[in-house]
Structure 1
């Protein structure tokens, strides 16, 4: 704690020397006065003599007035900071500061905590603290502060920052962030070219990203640089890493820790009455459930102290293994309950659940009460039951309870006793109970269970097929046991044969039957207890294809108001027939979905099922149209869509609309694929694809979007709907274009154009020529591209679509750029941007227009303007969650930086672009970035790594038969001859 007057002060030295009182910045005076304050602050409250201060500020040749000047500085600092902030102590001075008032002290504390966390095996938390520590640096430490002391401390703190940065980068790699780290490491290795630790981290990051040739190139560049600059060879760490990369040492790529399965042997010793030992025998092949076993065991153990009765209630769907888990845990806890263990099957899932009065009679007999002494009536029996258990330590396992009412009278009243309950319903109204929701097994646990039943010898050679089996079982223990038992009893079957039988969803539930065990029978018990409105919702919701469904979508499908639907769905969650993955979102277990669909086919007419899906699709289309309108003002696409009946969700702001679009993306695309087979729903299905095309452009959902588009094409072709087929083919062509498959894109665009003419679809008269122009542009057919864009421009103008007109003008700008007409290209891009500005909104299409203008300005040599436009585009693309456009914009910024003579910055941006474009955008775009990265690396002296980039780019271009392959071949040949200009 500091003294009065300093408590509200904060100081910074990790950047310019600054001070604040509260949130108000203080004027600290001239540079030499800052040097005095900096020296005082770096002493951390310890005394510094006047002579030391003079040396710190003026060095070996102080002026005669140094001491007087020093006293003046001290006076001025007291005036600014407060009289008590600077104390005069024994011929010197000392700062009075609160703990944590200096940014350096905070940074040191964070770094020390991070080091402890890393040593204790918490790398993720350590990395967060290091990031926080590094954020404390606001530029060069003691920036602009004169004097020898400030200079030496500046060097020390800069070196320390670099060390912290290396630690953080090591943790990035340790936690799997190698792809993202390459960009930063590339920039740092250019800034600190002889720092071997950074080079080693860069090599490792590249190698883990599958870029072995570049990793080896880094070592070659480093060896040459160290030899030329310092006359030394790389150190042992870098040399050893180089050898391990050469040998492709598998230890360089860490593997995740194995899952440890926990098993327990049964303790079947019987205890004589009146110490009941009623627990069923545990299963011999109990597997996994480690966390649940520990959680429940800890709860049961809490009763041993005799302070409170422990009650745990395990809930989950039928077949999830509630009883198996509870019996296993109960046996393991027997030693804590030496006075006995009671068990009853309450048959809560069946039509005739056990009566509590009858159960109490059985419990009383087990506890030694003769029949003649057992009273009549529920309350009397419950009272005697509690009396008998007073002072005793007994465990009661109440299996398959229907609800809380059924078990309340069966709870002991005595501390030291414990109750373990299993039920399909969550007993949220059972006071004091510890609730456990048991989910399906993890894939590793499921595979371990399957293997234990079938035998490792049979599963060992068919691991992939075994994983397919347990996945088809939805990782549900009951289903796995049935499937494994069938295989174990059929010695001629292979695991692959069983997997093929379970692959057919229509037959899967029938296949999951063995003797008296059947998954369907388990589900029927729960379904039979539902009220009519619950059963209808359970059946109809299963018709939707997405991984889950929102409350609003469920209300549309069921044709009910959201409040009623929420009540129904929450009741289904409480009975474990539905799961609530997040507030307002619901999903089925895979096998329950199949069962619910089979009930829908039995109990709902085809018309009712079709109407339900039509309502869902209508809701999605209406809401997606609202989202599209917010993102694309001025676009007349919505005027060409199938009319909707549902009002949809209207959004108050763009962020909410994007949240909905990207959250619902899997459901939207699955619904399109599912409903496309119904000719009545075909047109709204393809129109839904049109208004969610941002999902395809983002790259995040490119594959599922393409699959949905193909499903529509196939269905439209079968029924001869030229309009639907044209629209879907145009979207498929656009998808091919985004992935760099230009031949396929051109073919789909050509067919879309012809079908659009047949269907007299004005929308395709605009879209198809524009897409034909884009594919021609990418294939270097510039005259064809210009002709197609001119046709599209006229079509958009005829349709009154100003946004489409602006997009085509941007495309025309790129054609002119490719023809060497930079001035004309800038003019076209500026015209497009003017239209975007008139339309209004920071939309994705505005970002595209800025992107095109940035490219044109780059070629025109107007670098600062190009950077400004591309930076503006980058902010828009990030806000629109368009990772593909974000990555390409970062790449274009790299190109500007390279032509502007900033190769190190260009290399860092190119690496960042590669990271953003990982798994999206196709090989052609990756090759583009690698080519530019190679040029940047060459200019910062990393020629060997540059060659690795060009070799990879050449292979990618060659794989997609891109026209740039000849250019790369020539570049590599020039590099071999040493003719590449540095």
Structure 2
């Protein structure tokens, strides 16, 4: 008997059993066997490549390919190879694992894959960056590292090639169904079924040695009936483990009796038969819960997801999920807030069973229940960050205890664990398009929860994608108000990451959408933001034009605070353009507006800017007088930092006017102010720097 792997990468940990049989190993699955494949792969790591044979230094990382059908143990083999290669310290910068195919069989876009790798590397990625930019960042990040990268479930070479580091010290292990044509120097290793002896050992480990020992020939026949396929063996073992009184012969006979669609490929029929065997043995309620898990976003579910899909209680859902783990239908991490994963090899079978057994209306209703439950959980997740006496916390207290979070750290942890599934739920809801109202509520709740727990800056890459989803729904449903809001949010993120011209395009589109909706806030905000974008580009004429349009609207609506702010922005761009007369007029108007509003600190700042403009214009005496006005206002407002900064500006102006004694007095005053306010930032005098 050859020493092949008993691959435990099947759908779940082994099932429990009881009775007179020897207790099976119920500890977390461990990899063993497959020594021949592992030896060949390890030898390929050190084997000279074509570049080396030609006398050239390798330009890129070496690529090893583990090819096999889903459920054949290819991912487990890659994980074991990575473990063995990193144990001696050959790759001190670690192992980085990313999935290239979603559980629904769709390829993961390159932008998401690259962003996932950057997250693992703790490298901040700009929101809205395209695939080429992010892939370049990945290659740059690995250029100075000695790391091992596992690219799991690759569809083709086009997914793998952009992520290959230009660094021969890195190693890439790609897992795929077939060859990766187009990547030179790939070392393939094809994974088939287990040999009969290893397959029998896998069964014995799951169901106990006694039932195998009493009928070894039938155990071998059962292993052959399963095609040596680890995922198939895991399902059959789970079925047997749940039935201590059943023999191996019972399982073999039941497996042979299962009928599968003749259109199913021959290589996939053993797994289809095993799934049918387990599915048909479930109680009706449990079988329906399993089928509905095909709707779980990204193949990830928790007890609330299963509860909402099946319309049952949360404890009943927890029990069903744990039973599915023991049967080999699900995987779980066993964390304090457990999350259950439907293996990719079983996802098509569960989906087919769902479509066969459930009516479309029932499927849509289950999806609606799941989305509604997710929205309520997200609302509770955000509300827990509000003060105790806030309306949101009072509403939270009225929710069922199973929906609430306590303390806030528990909500943050739930959000961190469930974020991939939550984002996938939003994408799926928008893509399906039949529950757009729920989709919009879900995205809005997710945006608020992320902002509350992570902050808008940290969550910006995720928020960018979510705002894009809102835009998709708004365009499909012709909702101009929502379209304007989404465009403004996307444009703000574009502007923040330096894509100013793209931001301008979106601000103009938001203006059109705001006008179509009659949304004065959106139109005013779009015009003001467009002015800021033109100012960033150095086009001060257009900037002042757009600020002027926004100002006219604010004045027409009687929004005095916004008008005062816009006067200040106009004053700034006029000053940048050297139009000091207009700049001074606008800063004076801003100061007057803040005076009418009773905002003394803002009035002081506006006057300080007016003094700066007067100085630029070559009118130092007027600047001195205006600056003193601003100092007095800052003193009245109790703004120590502003008062100190203005004292230093007065000192600089007096130096230029030839009065160093008075300048020293003002600097001394500034020093005293800063000493009294120990938390103030350092403010330097321009003359001192010069």
The TM-score with structure 2 as length reference comes to 0.45
For normalisation by structure 1, the TM-score amounts to 0.33
Q: Which has the higher contact order (CA 8 A, sep 6+)?
A: 2
